[in-house]
Protein backbone atom coordinates (compact mmCIF):
# COMPACT_ATOMS: atom_id res chain seq x y z
CA UNK A 1 0.00 0.00 0.00
CA UNK A 2 2.82 2.41 0.91
CA UNK A 3 4.40 2.00 -2.52
CA UNK A 4 1.08 2.73 -4.18
CA UNK A 5 0.62 5.97 -2.21
CA UNK A 6 4.20 7.05 -2.89
CA UNK A 7 3.73 6.57 -6.64
CA UNK A 8 0.42 8.45 -6.58
CA UNK A 9 2.06 11.27 -4.61
CA UNK A 10 4.96 11.59 -7.04
CA UNK A 11 2.54 11.64 -9.97
CA UNK A 12 0.52 14.43 -8.35
CA UNK A 13 3.71 16.47 -7.89
CA UNK A 14 4.70 16.03 -11.53
CA UNK A 15 1.20 17.04 -12.69
CA UNK A 16 1.19 20.10 -10.42
CA UNK A 17 4.61 21.21 -11.67
CA UNK A 18 3.67 20.79 -15.32
CA UNK A 19 0.48 22.87 -15.03
CA UNK A 20 1.40 26.39 -16.12
CA UNK A 21 1.43 28.89 -13.28
CA UNK A 22 -1.01 31.74 -13.70
CA UNK A 23 -0.86 35.31 -12.40
CA UNK A 24 -4.00 37.41 -12.32
CA UNK A 25 -4.64 40.85 -10.86
CA UNK A 26 -8.09 42.17 -10.00
CA UNK A 27 -8.54 45.93 -9.99
CA UNK A 28 -11.24 46.43 -7.36
CA UNK A 29 -13.15 49.74 -7.19
CA UNK A 30 -14.14 49.00 -3.59
CA UNK A 31 -12.99 46.03 -1.53
CA UNK A 32 -14.95 44.69 1.43
CA UNK A 33 -12.42 42.10 2.51
CA UNK A 34 -14.51 40.06 4.96
CA UNK A 35 -12.30 40.72 7.99
CA UNK A 36 -14.54 43.42 9.46
CA UNK A 37 -12.17 46.22 8.41
CA UNK A 38 -13.42 49.35 6.65
CA UNK A 39 -13.95 49.11 2.87
CA UNK A 40 -10.91 50.11 0.80
CA UNK A 41 -11.09 52.08 -2.44
CA UNK A 42 -9.05 51.25 -5.54
CA UNK A 43 -6.97 48.25 -4.62
CA UNK A 44 -5.31 45.49 -6.60
CA UNK A 45 -5.73 41.84 -5.62
CA UNK A 46 -2.77 39.80 -6.86
CA UNK A 47 -3.59 36.14 -7.47
CA UNK A 48 -1.20 33.30 -8.21
CA UNK A 49 -2.90 30.10 -9.41
CA UNK A 50 -5.72 29.39 -6.94
CA UNK A 51 -4.59 31.63 -4.04
CA UNK A 52 -4.45 35.34 -3.23
CA UNK A 53 -0.81 36.43 -3.05
CA UNK A 54 -1.08 40.11 -2.05
CA UNK A 55 -3.34 43.14 -1.78
CA UNK A 56 -1.87 46.47 -2.94
CA UNK A 57 -3.19 50.03 -2.87
CA UNK A 58 -3.98 51.56 -6.26
CA UNK A 59 -4.30 49.78 -9.58
CA UNK A 60 -1.04 47.96 -10.27
CA UNK A 61 -0.32 45.49 -13.05
CA UNK A 62 2.63 43.14 -12.49
CA UNK A 63 4.39 42.07 -15.69
CA UNK A 64 2.70 39.09 -17.28
CA UNK A 65 -0.40 39.24 -15.11
CA UNK A 66 -3.86 39.02 -16.63
CA UNK A 67 -5.98 42.02 -15.56
CA UNK A 68 -9.59 41.67 -14.48
CA UNK A 69 -11.22 45.09 -14.39
CA UNK A 70 -13.68 45.39 -11.51
CA UNK A 71 -12.83 49.07 -10.97
CA UNK A 72 -16.51 50.05 -11.11
CA UNK A 73 -17.62 47.27 -8.75
CA UNK A 74 -17.67 46.35 -5.11
CA UNK A 75 -15.54 43.25 -4.57
CA UNK A 76 -16.05 40.81 -1.71
CA UNK A 77 -14.93 37.33 -0.64
CA UNK A 78 -16.99 34.48 -2.06
CA UNK A 79 -20.05 34.04 0.16
CA UNK A 80 -20.58 31.05 2.45
CA UNK A 81 -23.92 29.48 3.40
CA UNK A 82 -23.49 27.27 6.48
CA UNK A 83 -26.91 25.63 6.34
CA UNK A 84 -28.06 24.15 3.05
CA UNK A 85 -29.39 20.85 1.79
CA UNK A 86 -27.84 21.01 -1.65
CA UNK A 87 -29.58 17.93 -3.01
CA UNK A 88 -33.04 18.68 -1.63
CA UNK A 89 -35.68 20.10 -3.94
CA UNK A 90 -39.32 20.89 -3.41
CA UNK A 91 -41.03 19.17 -6.36
CA UNK A 92 -44.42 20.46 -5.23
CA UNK A 93 -44.10 19.37 -1.64
CA UNK A 94 -45.73 16.34 -0.01
CA UNK A 95 -42.85 14.79 1.97
CA UNK A 96 -44.47 11.35 2.05
CA UNK A 97 -44.71 11.09 -1.74
CA UNK A 98 -41.12 12.33 -2.10
CA UNK A 99 -39.83 9.88 0.52
CA UNK A 100 -41.27 6.85 -1.24
CA UNK A 101 -40.67 7.88 -4.87
CA UNK A 102 -37.22 9.51 -4.81
CA UNK A 103 -33.93 7.60 -4.79
CA UNK A 104 -30.47 8.88 -3.89
CA UNK A 105 -29.70 8.90 -7.62
CA UNK A 106 -32.59 11.31 -8.23
CA UNK A 107 -31.43 13.63 -5.48
CA UNK A 108 -27.82 13.47 -6.66
CA UNK A 109 -28.85 14.69 -10.11
CA UNK A 110 -30.81 17.53 -8.52
CA UNK A 111 -27.69 18.27 -6.47
CA UNK A 112 -25.55 18.70 -9.59
CA UNK A 113 -27.86 21.47 -10.81
CA UNK A 114 -28.26 23.02 -7.37
CA UNK A 115 -24.50 23.15 -6.75
CA UNK A 116 -24.02 25.06 -10.00
CA UNK A 117 -26.88 27.49 -9.23
CA UNK A 118 -25.46 28.14 -5.76
CA UNK A 119 -21.96 28.85 -7.08
CA UNK A 120 -23.26 31.21 -9.78
CA UNK A 121 -25.16 33.14 -7.08
CA UNK A 122 -21.78 33.97 -5.51
CA UNK A 123 -21.70 31.25 -2.85
CA UNK A 124 -18.26 29.70 -3.29
CA UNK A 125 -18.55 27.52 -0.16
CA UNK A 126 -21.37 25.75 1.64
CA UNK A 127 -21.88 23.57 4.67
CA UNK A 128 -24.41 20.86 3.84
CA UNK A 129 -26.14 19.77 7.04
CA UNK A 130 -28.35 16.91 5.94
CA UNK A 131 -28.51 14.91 2.73
CA UNK A 132 -28.00 11.30 1.71
CA UNK A 133 -24.51 10.46 2.98
CA UNK A 134 -23.12 8.56 0.01
CA UNK A 135 -24.70 10.92 -2.53
CA UNK A 136 -23.53 14.17 -0.94
CA UNK A 137 -20.01 12.81 -0.38
CA UNK A 138 -19.94 11.86 -4.07
CA UNK A 139 -21.13 15.35 -5.03
CA UNK A 140 -18.46 16.95 -2.85
CA UNK A 141 -15.75 14.79 -4.39
CA UNK A 142 -16.89 15.60 -7.94
CA UNK A 143 -16.84 19.35 -7.20
CA UNK A 144 -13.42 19.11 -5.50
CA UNK A 145 -12.04 17.23 -8.51
CA UNK A 146 -13.40 19.87 -10.89
CA UNK A 147 -15.66 17.34 -12.63
CA UNK A 148 -18.74 19.51 -12.05
CA UNK A 149 -19.06 23.18 -11.01
CA UNK A 150 -20.10 23.94 -7.46
CA UNK A 151 -19.10 25.59 -4.21
CA UNK A 152 -16.49 24.10 -1.87
CA UNK A 153 -18.41 21.72 0.34
CA UNK A 154 -18.27 20.66 3.96
CA UNK A 155 -20.88 17.94 4.43
CA UNK A 156 -22.52 16.16 7.36
CA UNK A 157 -24.25 13.45 5.36
CA UNK A 158 -27.55 12.32 6.86
CA UNK A 159 -28.50 13.94 10.16
CA UNK A 160 -28.48 11.78 13.30
CA UNK A 161 -31.51 11.75 15.59
CA UNK A 162 -33.78 9.56 17.67
CA UNK A 163 -36.54 7.21 16.58
CA UNK A 164 -39.64 9.35 16.11
CA UNK A 165 -37.57 12.56 16.00
CA UNK A 166 -37.04 15.22 13.33
CA UNK A 167 -34.76 12.96 11.27
CA UNK A 168 -37.00 9.88 11.27
CA UNK A 169 -38.55 9.61 7.79
CA UNK A 170 -41.14 7.11 9.04
CA UNK A 171 -42.90 9.62 11.30
CA UNK A 172 -46.64 9.61 10.68
CA UNK A 173 -46.51 6.48 8.51
CA UNK A 174 -47.60 2.89 9.13
CA UNK A 175 -45.26 1.11 11.61
CA UNK A 176 -43.78 -1.18 8.92
CA UNK A 177 -42.15 1.83 7.22
CA UNK A 178 -40.08 2.26 10.38
CA UNK A 179 -38.34 -1.05 9.55
CA UNK A 180 -37.05 -0.01 6.10
CA UNK A 181 -33.26 -0.54 6.54
CA UNK A 182 -32.10 2.66 4.81
CA UNK A 183 -34.49 4.71 6.91
CA UNK A 184 -33.12 3.35 10.19
CA UNK A 185 -29.46 3.96 9.41
CA UNK A 186 -29.19 7.33 11.14
CA UNK A 187 -31.49 6.77 14.10
CA UNK A 188 -29.61 6.70 17.40
CA UNK A 189 -31.30 5.74 20.66
CA UNK A 190 -28.36 5.24 23.01
CA UNK A 191 -24.85 6.63 23.59
CA UNK A 192 -23.44 3.37 22.17
CA UNK A 193 -25.38 3.77 18.93
CA UNK A 194 -24.31 7.41 18.83
CA UNK A 195 -20.60 6.54 18.99
CA UNK A 196 -20.82 3.78 16.39
CA UNK A 197 -22.86 5.90 14.02
CA UNK A 198 -20.56 8.92 14.27
CA UNK A 199 -17.56 6.70 13.54
CA UNK A 200 -19.39 5.12 10.60
CA UNK A 201 -20.20 8.60 9.25
CA UNK A 202 -16.55 9.62 9.53
CA UNK A 203 -15.56 6.47 7.64
CA UNK A 204 -18.09 7.35 4.94
CA UNK A 205 -16.28 10.65 4.33
CA UNK A 206 -18.30 13.36 6.08
CA UNK A 207 -16.66 16.52 7.47
CA UNK A 208 -19.01 17.26 10.36
CA UNK A 209 -21.95 15.73 12.21
CA UNK A 210 -25.51 17.07 12.32
CA UNK A 211 -27.84 16.08 15.15
CA UNK A 212 -31.52 16.63 15.90
CA UNK A 213 -31.84 17.23 19.67
CA UNK A 214 -35.32 18.78 19.29
CA UNK A 215 -38.35 18.14 17.11
CA UNK A 216 -38.72 20.08 13.87
CA UNK A 217 -41.16 21.79 11.55
CA UNK A 218 -41.04 19.87 8.25
CA UNK A 219 -41.17 16.44 9.91
CA UNK A 220 -44.55 14.91 10.71
CA UNK A 221 -45.97 15.14 14.21
CA UNK A 222 -42.85 15.70 16.35
CA UNK A 223 -42.81 18.75 18.64
CA UNK A 224 -40.15 21.45 18.04
CA UNK A 225 -40.41 22.57 21.68
CA UNK A 226 -39.37 19.21 23.11
CA UNK A 227 -35.88 17.84 23.65
CA UNK A 228 -36.04 14.44 21.95
CA UNK A 229 -32.42 13.28 22.28
CA UNK A 230 -31.19 12.46 25.79
CA UNK A 231 -28.22 14.39 27.15
CA UNK A 232 -26.05 11.25 27.21
CA UNK A 233 -26.75 10.66 23.50
CA UNK A 234 -25.91 14.26 22.59
CA UNK A 235 -22.76 14.08 24.70
CA UNK A 236 -21.62 10.84 23.06
CA UNK A 237 -22.09 12.34 19.59
CA UNK A 238 -20.17 15.52 20.43
CA UNK A 239 -17.28 13.76 22.19
CA UNK A 240 -16.87 11.16 19.46
CA UNK A 241 -17.12 13.72 16.65
CA UNK A 242 -14.62 16.07 18.32
CA UNK A 243 -12.24 13.17 18.94
CA UNK A 244 -12.28 12.58 15.18
CA UNK A 245 -11.69 16.27 14.40
CA UNK A 246 -15.26 16.90 13.29
CA UNK A 247 -17.55 19.72 14.40
CA UNK A 248 -21.18 19.19 15.40
CA UNK A 249 -24.17 21.24 14.24
CA UNK A 250 -27.42 20.83 16.18
CA UNK A 251 -30.90 21.45 14.88
CA UNK A 252 -32.68 22.82 17.97
CA UNK A 253 -35.86 24.86 18.41
CA UNK A 254 -36.88 24.29 22.06
CA UNK A 255 -35.08 26.12 24.86
CA UNK A 256 -34.12 22.99 26.79
CA UNK A 257 -32.60 21.33 23.73
CA UNK A 258 -30.71 24.55 22.90
CA UNK A 259 -29.37 25.13 26.41
CA UNK A 260 -28.40 21.50 27.06
CA UNK A 261 -26.72 21.04 23.68
CA UNK A 262 -24.68 24.24 24.08
CA UNK A 263 -23.59 23.19 27.57
CA UNK A 264 -22.53 19.79 26.16
CA UNK A 265 -20.15 21.56 23.74
CA UNK A 266 -21.88 21.72 20.35
CA UNK A 267 -20.34 24.05 17.75
CA UNK A 268 -23.53 25.60 16.35
CA UNK A 269 -27.23 25.77 17.06
CA UNK A 270 -29.35 25.77 13.91
CA UNK A 271 -32.68 27.68 14.06
CA UNK A 272 -32.72 28.33 17.86
CA UNK A 273 -36.36 29.51 17.84
CA UNK A 274 -37.17 29.40 21.56
CA UNK A 275 -33.81 30.69 22.86
CA UNK A 276 -34.09 33.31 25.61
CA UNK A 277 -31.79 35.65 27.53
CA UNK A 278 -30.31 32.78 29.54
CA UNK A 279 -29.68 30.84 26.34
CA UNK A 280 -27.82 33.83 24.85
CA UNK A 281 -25.59 33.90 27.95
CA UNK A 282 -24.76 30.23 27.33
CA UNK A 283 -24.05 30.90 23.64
CA UNK A 284 -21.55 33.60 24.61
CA UNK A 285 -20.00 31.65 27.47
CA UNK A 286 -19.30 28.64 25.21
CA UNK A 287 -18.54 30.59 22.01
CA UNK A 288 -21.32 28.72 20.22
CA UNK A 289 -22.60 30.01 16.89
CA UNK A 290 -26.27 30.59 16.09
CA UNK A 291 -27.28 29.82 12.49
CA UNK A 292 -30.67 31.53 12.32
CA UNK A 293 -32.08 30.20 8.97
CA UNK A 294 -34.50 33.08 8.46
CA UNK A 295 -35.18 32.48 4.77
CA UNK A 296 -36.65 29.03 5.29
CA UNK A 297 -38.69 30.28 8.24
CA UNK A 298 -40.19 33.00 6.08
CA UNK A 299 -40.89 30.72 3.10
CA UNK A 300 -42.49 27.92 5.13
CA UNK A 301 -44.60 30.51 6.99
CA UNK A 302 -45.81 32.02 3.69
CA UNK A 303 -46.59 28.56 2.29
CA UNK A 304 -48.52 27.62 5.44
CA UNK A 305 -50.62 30.78 4.97
CA UNK A 306 -51.22 30.57 1.21
CA UNK A 307 -50.95 26.85 0.32
CA UNK A 308 -51.28 24.77 3.50
CA UNK A 309 -52.41 21.82 1.38
CA UNK A 310 -48.83 21.53 0.07
CA UNK A 311 -47.58 20.83 3.60
CA UNK A 312 -48.34 18.05 5.99
CA UNK A 313 -51.06 19.41 8.36
CA UNK A 314 -48.76 19.23 11.38
CA UNK A 315 -46.06 21.12 9.45
CA UNK A 316 -48.41 23.93 8.46
CA UNK A 317 -49.52 24.40 12.07
CA UNK A 318 -45.92 24.36 13.37
CA UNK A 319 -44.69 26.80 10.69
CA UNK A 320 -47.23 29.44 11.71
CA UNK A 321 -45.78 29.40 15.24
CA UNK A 322 -42.06 29.04 14.45
CA UNK A 323 -41.77 31.58 11.57
CA UNK A 324 -42.31 34.71 13.70
CA UNK A 325 -40.19 33.26 16.55
CA UNK A 326 -37.13 33.01 14.27
CA UNK A 327 -37.39 36.74 13.50
CA UNK A 328 -37.51 37.70 17.16
CA UNK A 329 -34.75 35.26 18.04
CA UNK A 330 -32.27 36.70 15.54
CA UNK A 331 -33.04 40.23 16.69
CA UNK A 332 -32.57 39.36 20.36
CA UNK A 333 -29.52 37.12 19.82
CA UNK A 334 -27.78 39.80 17.78
CA UNK A 335 -28.60 42.46 20.37
CA UNK A 336 -27.17 40.18 23.07
CA UNK A 337 -23.90 39.77 21.13
CA UNK A 338 -24.25 36.11 20.12
CA UNK A 339 -21.95 35.02 17.26
CA UNK A 340 -24.04 34.52 14.13
CA UNK A 341 -23.19 32.58 10.97
CA UNK A 342 -25.17 32.86 7.75
CA UNK A 343 -27.44 29.93 6.96
CA UNK A 344 -30.58 29.76 4.84
CA UNK A 345 -31.72 26.13 5.23
CA UNK A 346 -32.24 26.09 1.48
CA UNK A 347 -33.95 22.83 0.54
CA UNK A 348 -36.03 23.97 -2.42
CA UNK A 349 -38.80 26.05 -0.80
CA UNK A 350 -36.46 28.93 -1.49
CA UNK A 351 -34.65 27.93 -4.67
CA UNK A 352 -30.97 27.01 -4.64
CA UNK A 353 -29.27 30.21 -5.81
CA UNK A 354 -31.65 32.49 -3.89
CA UNK A 355 -29.49 32.17 -0.76
CA UNK A 356 -28.55 35.87 -0.72
CA UNK A 357 -32.14 36.79 0.14
CA UNK A 358 -31.18 35.97 3.73
CA UNK A 359 -29.12 39.19 3.95
CA UNK A 360 -32.14 41.52 3.77
CA UNK A 361 -33.90 39.52 6.49
CA UNK A 362 -30.80 39.78 8.70
CA UNK A 363 -30.76 43.54 8.20
CA UNK A 364 -34.50 43.76 8.97
CA UNK A 365 -33.74 41.94 12.24
CA UNK A 366 -31.33 44.70 13.30
CA UNK A 367 -27.95 43.96 11.71
CA UNK A 368 -26.02 46.52 9.73
CA UNK A 369 -25.26 45.45 6.13
CA UNK A 370 -21.59 45.02 7.12
CA UNK A 371 -22.54 42.76 10.03
CA UNK A 372 -24.77 40.74 7.68
CA UNK A 373 -21.90 40.38 5.17
CA UNK A 374 -19.58 39.20 7.96
CA UNK A 375 -22.04 36.41 8.88
CA UNK A 376 -21.48 34.96 5.38
CA UNK A 377 -17.73 35.57 5.24
CA UNK A 378 -15.59 35.82 8.41
CA UNK A 379 -18.07 34.15 10.77
CA UNK A 380 -19.12 31.37 8.40
CA UNK A 381 -15.48 30.48 7.70
CA UNK A 382 -14.75 30.47 11.44
CA UNK A 383 -17.69 28.17 12.17
CA UNK A 384 -16.60 25.76 9.43
CA UNK A 385 -13.02 25.90 10.75
CA UNK A 386 -11.54 27.07 7.45
CA UNK A 387 -10.60 30.73 8.07
CA UNK A 388 -7.10 30.13 6.70
CA UNK A 389 -8.62 29.22 3.32
CA UNK A 390 -11.96 30.99 2.84
CA UNK A 391 -14.11 33.87 4.09
CA UNK A 392 -11.77 36.81 3.46
CA UNK A 393 -9.78 38.49 0.74
CA UNK A 394 -6.32 38.28 2.31
CA UNK A 395 -2.96 36.86 1.25
CA UNK A 396 -2.90 33.06 1.45
CA UNK A 397 -6.64 32.52 1.07
CA UNK A 398 -8.19 30.85 -1.95
CA UNK A 399 -9.01 33.34 -4.68
CA UNK A 400 -12.75 32.95 -4.07
CA UNK A 401 -13.96 36.41 -5.02
CA UNK A 402 -17.25 37.99 -6.12
CA UNK A 403 -18.31 41.44 -7.31
CA UNK A 404 -21.57 43.39 -7.38
CA UNK A 405 -22.49 46.63 -9.14
CA UNK A 406 -24.45 48.43 -6.44
CA UNK A 407 -23.06 49.23 -3.01
CA UNK A 408 -24.19 46.45 -0.63
CA UNK A 409 -23.47 48.68 2.39
CA UNK A 410 -26.19 51.06 1.14
CA UNK A 411 -28.52 48.40 -0.22
CA UNK A 412 -27.78 44.90 0.98
CA UNK A 413 -30.03 43.37 -1.68
CA UNK A 414 -27.24 44.20 -4.16
CA UNK A 415 -25.83 40.82 -3.05
CA UNK A 416 -28.81 39.13 -4.74
CA UNK A 417 -27.37 40.31 -8.08
CA UNK A 418 -23.80 39.02 -8.23
CA UNK A 419 -22.06 40.01 -11.49
CA UNK A 420 -18.75 38.24 -11.09
CA UNK A 421 -17.71 34.99 -9.45
CA UNK A 422 -14.20 33.55 -9.20
CA UNK A 423 -13.50 30.28 -7.38
CA UNK A 424 -9.92 29.24 -6.76
CA UNK A 425 -8.63 31.73 -9.34
CA UNK A 426 -10.99 30.49 -12.07
CA UNK A 427 -13.68 32.88 -13.29
CA UNK A 428 -17.05 31.11 -13.45
CA UNK A 429 -19.26 34.19 -14.00
CA UNK A 430 -18.49 37.57 -15.52
CA UNK A 431 -20.70 40.45 -16.64
CA UNK A 432 -23.59 38.71 -14.90
CA UNK A 433 -23.28 35.65 -17.15
CA UNK A 434 -21.92 32.16 -16.52
CA UNK A 435 -18.63 31.43 -18.31
ZN1 LIG B 1 -31.94 22.23 7.55
- The reported pLDDT for the residue numbered 20 is 60
Query: Cα-Cα-Cα-Cα dihedral of 101, 167, 198, 141, to 10°?
Result: 40
- The reported pLDDT for the residue numbered 314 is 86
Distance, CA 24 to ligand 1 centroid (Å)? 37
345 is catalytic: yes
Work out the pLDDT band at 389, boundaries 50, 70, 90: very high
Active-site pick, 81, 114, 259, 345: 345
Residues 6+ apart with CB under 8 A from 133: 157, 158, 186, 201, 204, 205, 206
Measured between alpha carbons, how far is residue 223 from residues 102, 114, 150, 171, 293 in Å? Answer: 26, 30, 35, 12, 18
Q: Give the separation between CA 311 and CA 12, rounded to whole angstroms.
A: 50
Distance, CA 190 to ligand 1 centroid (Å)? 23
Distance, CA 16 to ligand 1 centroid (Å)? 38
184: pLDDT strictly greater than 80 = yes
250: pLDDT strictly greater than 80 = yes
Spell out the SS3 assignment of 356-413: CHHHHHHHHCCCCHHHHHHHCCHHHHHHHCCCCCCCCCCCCCECCEEEECCCCCCCHH
5: pLDDT strictly greater than 50 = no
What H or E segment, with its residue span, contains residue 28? strand 23-31
Quickly list DSSP for 74-125. Answer: EEEEPEEEEEE-TT---TT--HHHHHHH--HHHHHHHHHHHHHHHHHTTEEE
Distance, CA 85 to ligand 1 centroid (Å)? 6
User: Taking CA 391 as the corner, what is the angle to CA 387 and CA 395, rounded to the nearest 5 degrees?
Assistant: 75
Distance, CA 345 to ligand 1 centroid (Å)? 5
Distance, CA 70 to ligand 1 centroid (Å)? 35
Cβ atoms 350, 299 nearer than 8 A = yes
14: pLDDT strictly greater than 80 = no
281 is catalytic: no
- The reported pLDDT for the residue numbered 309 is 86
Average pLDDT, the chain: 93
User: Taking CA 367 as the corner, what is the angle to CA 366 and CA 369, rounded to the nearest 5 degrees?
Assistant: 135
Grouping H, G, I as helix, E, B as strand and the rest as coil, residue 31 is strand
Q: Looking at the DSSP assignment, which residues form a beta bridge with residue 211?
A: 160, 250
Q: Give the separation between CA 92 and CA 330, rounded to whole angstroms.
A: 29
Distance, CA 193 to ligand 1 centroid (Å)? 23
Active-site pick, 73, 210, 235, 423: 210
Distance, CA 34 to ligand 1 centroid (Å)? 25
- What strands, in cross-sheet order, belong to the sheet with 268-271? 208-211, 247-252, 268-271, 289-291
Task: Give the CA radius of gyration of the chain.
Answer: 22
- The reported pLDDT for the residue numbered 13 is 43
Q: Which of 224, 223, 320, 344 has the alpha carbon at shortest distance from 273? A: 224
| Cβ neighbours of 423 (radius 10 Å) | 24
- The reported pLDDT for the residue numbered 229 is 97
Residues 6+ apart with CB under 8 A from 29: 41, 42, 70, 71, 72, 73, 74, 75
7: pLDDT strictly greater than 70 = no
| Cβ neighbours of 435 (radius 10 Å) | 12
Burial environment of residue 17 by CB neighbours within 10 A (0 to 12, 13 to 18, 19 or more): exposed
Domains defined along the chain, listed by start: 21-78+392-434 (2.30.40.10), 79-384 (3.20.20.140)
- The reported pLDDT for the residue numbered 2 is 41
Distance, CA 430 to ligand 1 centroid (Å)? 31
Distance, CA 158 to ligand 1 centroid (Å)? 11
Grouping H, G, I as helix, E, B as strand and the rest as coil, residue 432 is coil
Tens digit of each residue's pLDDT (9 = 90 or more) over 288-347: 999 999 999 999 899 999 998 888 888 888 889 888 898 899 999 999 999 999 999 999
Distance, CA 347 to ligand 1 centroid (Å)? 7
Q: Give the separation between CA 103 and CA 95, rounded to whole angstroms.
A: 13
Work out the pLDDT band at 160, boundaries 50, 70, 90: very high
Tens digit of each residue's pLDDT (9 = 90 or more) over 110-157: 999 999 999 999 999 999 999 999 999 999 999 999 999 999 999 999
Q: DSSP letter for 49, please.
A: T
Grouping H, G, I as helix, E, B as strand and the rest as coil, residue 434 is strand
Number of H helices, E strands in the chain: 14, 15
Amino acid sequence: MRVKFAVAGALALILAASASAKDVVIHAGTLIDGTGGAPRRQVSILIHDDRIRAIQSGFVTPAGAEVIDLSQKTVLPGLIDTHVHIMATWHGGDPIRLAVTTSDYDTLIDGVNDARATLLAGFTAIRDVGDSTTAVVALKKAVAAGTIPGPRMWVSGAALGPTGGHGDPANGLLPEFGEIPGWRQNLIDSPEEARTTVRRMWRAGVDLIKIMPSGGVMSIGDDPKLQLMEDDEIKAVIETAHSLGMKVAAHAHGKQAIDHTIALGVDSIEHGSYADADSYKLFKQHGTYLVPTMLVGQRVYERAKTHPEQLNPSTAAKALVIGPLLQKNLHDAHAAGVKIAFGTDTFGLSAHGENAQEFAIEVAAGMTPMEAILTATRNAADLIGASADIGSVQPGRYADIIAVTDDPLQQVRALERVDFVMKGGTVVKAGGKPI
